[in-house]
Amino acid sequence: MSKFLLALTYAFLLAQGAWAEVPQVIEVRSTHTVVQTLWHLEHAIHRRHLHIVAMVDHSGAAHKVGLDLPPTKLVIFGNPALGTKLMQMNQQAGLGLPLKMLVWEDAEHRVWLGYTDPAVFARRYDISPSAEPILLMTKALHAIAAEAAGE
């Protein structure tokens, strides 16, 4: 019995260590300006029959209160059919939906797109990473980011 508990504890610690190495955010460097990247991002989203719910201008909001922030925009989008399937697996997944992509310019004037790794989403809401909606989300986010970044 003690060997079993020891093996179980070891497996748990290994899994925790592996999880710590998984990137929380996928970052893709864009070959475009922020404005161009946003334009390409919108088109990539619409081409996949997804709907843009909102765009949040973080840098614009910062400037309105007298603070400096390099260009930083959040695009919120989704597909109700896919999102509903995820929420049927765990309604709390609605906290992470709709999907989001951040476009920002760093201090060296490089432009980036970032999004939460769907593996993180799956783990957070106790959904199998091999569940069809997670696999579809992974494929779609990767393709959208690559297209918007000019890859």
**Number of independent structural domains in the chain:** 1
The answer to whether residue 5 is domain-embedded is no
Judged by average pLDDT, the poorest of 4-13, 62-71, 124-133 is 4-13
The answer to whether residue 8 is domain-embedded is no
The answer to whether residue 10 is domain-embedded is no
> Would you say 94 and 69 are in contact if contact means Cβ atoms under 8 Å apart?
no
Strands 111-116 and 72-78: unpaired
The answer to whether residue 47 is domain-embedded is yes
The answer to whether residue 9 is domain-embedded is no
pLDDT tier for residue 9 given thresholds of 50, 70 and 90? very low
pTM of the model: 0.83
What mean pLDDT do residues 29-46 have? 98
CATH label of the domain that carries residue 28: 3.30.310.70
The pLDDT score that the predictor gives to residue 151 is 80
Query: What range defines the domain where residue 79 resides?
Result: 24-149
The pLDDT score that the predictor gives to residue 7 is 47
How much is the mean pLDDT over the chain?
A: 90
